Chain A
Amino acid sequence: MQIEVNNVTYTYNKKRFDEFEALKGISLKIDKGEFVALVGKTGSGKSTLIQTFNGLILPTSGYVKVDDFIVTGDKKLKRQLLKKESKEVQILNKKKAYLLRKKVGMVFQFPEYQLFADTILKDVMFGPLNFKVEENLAKEKSINALKSVGIDESYFERNPFELSGGEKRRVAIAGILASEPDILILDEPTAGLDPNGKKEIMNLIKDIHKEGKTIILVTHDMDVVMDYVDKIFVLNDGKLLEETTPNILFNKENILDYSLEIPTFYKFKNLLKKYGFCKDLSKINEFNELIDIICEDKND
């Protein structure tokens, strides 16, 4: 088990007039090398949850365990855990936070906003240098990362602000990859991109996954979920509704209750059902199969 979320709650602005409980007791597990997605409508707690994975947010109660790190803000629980768990387990504190953040790479929504250095290479090297990687090695890793996201060597000394939106985003992702994290978390990596840009980024993420990294995706884009993800966690109102796979999820009868945007293909299938299509569609997951079954129906 690489990530274990144990009954995590989180409250923003505790004990204030605008107190808001974003997570209401979530438990889930993610294995090494999995490609998972967290889905749910805006405000369901997805973004809050992923920030507990690298200790940017400490759970109000419950804990998150990432390998042998325990992330929690609950002091009582901390003391209990310290007694019980074996010595290899470490409770996250401010000094150790960077060790966890090296392990868990986090790409925020619109990551192009985090660029700051005067050359692309320097910006990408920033992460590894913070994680105390030696200068030469950091450079080597950064060059590899940039190449893997498809940024040409001739760009390395250029100013990141000269790039187009899609290129900036790839540089920003390279900035996380250069630290060689085991787990990569991406918050809405395809937001605001055109269809081509979307495909490029998602194929890049797929390649990273093939290298054996765990990928956690937060997204609204169900087409992306459909095409790339193995496992889905559906969140709603700070709670985990369901752990499932794309095919099962989108074929569910009550999918509309989840207030998710369904891929057009499944929307169409649901509409066919609604208007009384005679054949059984539940096993149809391919475009061609659907066409065949419609033809069959028409010819009958």
Chain B
Amino acid sequence: MNEALKVKNLCFNYDENKETLVNLSFEVKKGDYVTLIGHNGSGKSTLAKLLTYLITPSSGEIYVNDLLLNEENIGKIRRTLGIVFQNPDNQFIGSTVEDDIAFGLENRNIPLNDMQKLVKEYSKKVNMENYLKKEPSELSGGQKQRVAIAGILALNLKIIIFDEATSMLDPEGVEDIKHLINEMREKDPELTFISITHDIEEAYLSDYCIILNKGRIYKEGKPNEIFNEIDDIKRIGLDVPFVLKIKNALKEKNIFINDDIKTIEDLAKNICK
């Protein structure tokens, strides 16, 4: 059981003559950080909804931890898989931070004493322990997304889907969430992150990247490999990640830089060495 998620021949269409997703198949390994990228309208968000059973596929199967996603198993699957949506305000259900973190716990019928402990513990993990009594209108977008993440972690979910969770945040909020994801992954190597995004820089840093275009998988693989096919990337209007751009430009001048280097920080270190 190495795959957290398996998608087989998945199809979906909202109405009969327009196919939103066509025959998608891919696998996500446990503990990986996978990005799904593509333009608006490439079917990314539909896929996110399918993965959480908020809509049902027209055909094809999805397996979460080898369990088929259907009406019967959805209760079990919701105990392993959580999703953070795009709009930070519209997914904030509780009236205060602590109520929102507790919402999922209440749904699981967890006793009050345990809930109080969990809320405290996980608010600390996302650095929101000093905001427990705050209302959503007093929080920034990034803080609201932190709360959403705490709500998922408190339920001990091992697969987290980000559906463009940073696209409505200011730069500070985006950095904040990216930082938090790295921290989470270091602390718990079992966590699987599936991030649906249009941020190519984020995609470049992930373990595995799937590019969607017009409802089909356009390319998938290690970011270093797929982004190196520059012509293909540019054909569908995507840009090349900055680090890779520098690497390629240097390669032309016979300066070679290791494939492992992915962040601009490491790149700068390497060049100055």
Seen from chain A, the residues whose Cβ lies within 8 Å of a Cβ on chain B are 41-42, 164-166, 191-197, 220-222, 259-261, 264-265, 267-268, 271-272, 274-277, 287-288, 290-291, 294-295, 297-298
Contact = CB atoms under 8 A, between A and B. Distances in A.
Interface in B246-270: 246, 249-250, 253, 255, 264-265, 267-269
Interface residues of B, number: 30
B264 A271 contact: yes
25 contacts: A42-B172, A191-B168, A192-B168, A193-B40, A195-B198, A195-B200, A195-B238, A221-B171, A260-B171, A261-B172, A264-B201, A265-B242, A268-B268, A271-B264, A271-B265, A271-B267, A272-B268, A272-B271, A275-B269, A277-B271, A287-B249, A290-B246, A294-B246, A295-B250, A298-B255
A65 to B, nearest CB: 31
Interface string B27-46: 00000000000011100000
Interface in B192-221: 198, 200-201
Contacts of A291: 246, 249-250, 253
Given A195-B238, A271-B265, A277 B272 contact: yes
B237 interface: yes
A41 B172 contact: yes
A266 to B, nearest CB: 11
Contacts, number: 78
B86 to A, nearest CB: 8
B140 interface: yes
B13 interface: no
Which label, helix, strand, loop or mixed, suits the secondary structure of the B interface?
helix
Interface in B155-202: 167-168, 170-172, 175, 198, 200-201
B207 to A, nearest CB: 21
A194 B249 contact: no
B167 A267 contact: no
A220 B39 contact: no
Contacts of A288: 249
B124 interface: no
B249 A272 contact: no
Given A42-B170, A271-B267, A295-B250, 15 more contacts: A166-B40, A191-B168, A194-B39, A195-B198, A195-B237, A195-B238, A196-B39, A220-B171, A261-B175, A267-B264, A268-B242, A274-B268, A287-B245, A291-B246, A291-B250
A27 B271 CA distance: 44
A267 B175 CA distance: 14
Nearest to B264: A268
B258 to A, nearest CB: 15
A247 to B, nearest CB: 19
Contacts of A197: 40
Contacts of B264: 264, 267-268, 271
Contacts of A275: 268-269, 271-272
B158 to A, nearest CB: 29
Contact of A41 (B40, B170, B201): B170
| Leading 3 A-B pairs by shortest Cβ distance | A261-B171, A271-B268, A275-B272
Interface in B1-57: 39-41
Contacts of A290: 246
